[in-house]
Structure 1
Amino acid sequence: MMGKQRSSRYYWPGVLFALPFVMLGLAALIAALYPVVQHLRSLAWQPVPATVLSVSERNSAVQKIGESTTYRIEGAFRYRWQQQERISHRLTFSLVRDDLDDGWREAVMGEIGPVGNTITAWINPNAPDEAVVIRAIRWNEVGFAMLGALMFGAGGVVLMVAAFTPVRPGKAPSPQVVLWPLVLCLLATGPIWLVLVVLLIRDGHPIWAGVCLVPVALALNGVRVGLQQRTGTTASARPRSN
C-alpha cells in the first residue's frame, strides 16, 4: 500500500508538465475553429447594402517581431434593417494581428473600399446587431492555429497519458497504452477534419483538403492496428486443447 502511494506521487510532476501543452493545444483549436464556425453561421445571414464609415490598417508597435510589425484592419459600416440604422465594427471573422504576406489585407481593403463606399454586408436576421462584411475564411490563419493545436495538443496528450501509465521495474511501457488516447482524440475530432475538407475543396484548396484527411487516416489505422493486436493477444492467451 505504501509502495503504491509513493509511486503515485511521481505522476503529478508529469501531469503538471503536460498540462500547459494540453491547454495551449485547446486554445489553438478554439482559435482555429472560431472563424470556421462563424463562417458556417453566416451562411444563413441576409445581405443588405451598407455604407463604409471608417477603415484603416492599424499596425502594432508593441507586437514587433524582429523587424516586422503586425497589422489588423479596423473600421465601421452603417446599414439599415427593419427601419432602423445600425453600426457594426466587424469587418471579418479574423481574430489575429499578423505580418503574413498572403494578400488577405489587400483583398479586404479592396473589397471594403474608401470611406463612403457602398458595400454588401451580411446580417444575422435573428440578431440584427450582428453583422459582417467579409464572410470568407482566412485559411492561412486557420492552418497555423490547427498546426499549433496538433503539435501542442498531441504532445500534451501523450505526456499526460505517459504520466499516468505505471511502469514496472525493468519493463518499458507498451506503446499501445500511450497511443490509444491519442487515437481516440483524433477520432473525436474526425467530424471537424471532415468539415474542413469539404470547405477547403469548395474554396479551391484540394491539396490542403488531402492534408486534413491525414489525421483521420492515422486514427483509423491506429484503431485497425490496435484491434489486430488485441485479437492476437486474446488468441495467444487462450489455452490450447490437447
Structure 2
Amino acid sequence: MDPYTAYCKNNLYYLFASRQDWELDSFLFMAAINEFLGLEIVKAISLSFCTAKELRGRAELLPPVLKWQYCIVSITHPTKQPLHLYWRDPLDCIESLFSHPFFTNEMDVTPQCSQLPDDATLLGIILSSDKTNITNMTGGRVTHPLLISLANIKMATRNKASLYAFLLTALLPIVKFLYPVKQMQSVLEARLVHQPKIYQAPTPLHSKHAQTRTDLQRCHSPRR
C-alpha cells in the first residue's frame, strides 16, 4: 500500500507542496537533462535523442509494467497480524512472457494436439513457490512468492535466472494463527494455502483465474 495515499487525498501533487512546486521541479529536471545532452562529449556519442522532451517521449512509448494489486485477506480465525495479499494478473504475466521479443526464437509453439486450429497453439504454465525470507534484520518477514513461467520456453533458457523467464505473480502471506491448540495452527495454515476459497478475496481475482483458463485454451502463435 502506498504510504502517502492519505496525503494525496488533500494534495494530488504530494510529495510536492502544490502544482506550481511540481511544475518548477519538473522544469528544473528537464533543464538539467538538456544541459547534459548539450555537452560536446555527449554529442559525440550520437544518441537517438537530443532533448529531454524526446527522451521522455521514448520512455512513454515503452510497454506498461505489470500492475500490482493488493487486498487484506479476511479469515474466520484470529491472527497475530492482518494478512496482506499482493498479486498481479497471471494472464498479464503470461502475455508478457509470450510476447517478449527475447523469447521469440527460444519458444516451442508447435502444439502436440491435432484438434487445435491451424492458427492456435497450447501454452504450458509452470508455477513455482517456496517459503522465502524477505527481511532478516527488520522484523523477519517471510512469504511464499509465486512465480509463473511458460513450459514452451526452452529449458536451457528458462532455467537461467538472469533471463527472467519466471515472473513474480503473487506474494502469498504466511499467517500465524492465535489458536489455543498449537497442533491446529499448522492445520489452519495448510487450509489457507490449499483451499483458496478461505481467502475470501475480491470477486475479480477469482473471475480473472477463470478467465485465464478460458483464454489460454486458444492462443495465437507469434508472427515470425
Per the normalisation by structure 1, the TM-score is 0.23
Which structure's CA Rg is the greater one?
Answer: 1
Of Structure 1 and Structure 2, the greater helix share is in 1
Of Structure 1 and Structure 2, the greater strand share is in 1
Per the normalisation by structure 2, the TM-score is 0.24
Q: Which has the higher contact order (CA 8 A, sep 6+)?
A: 1
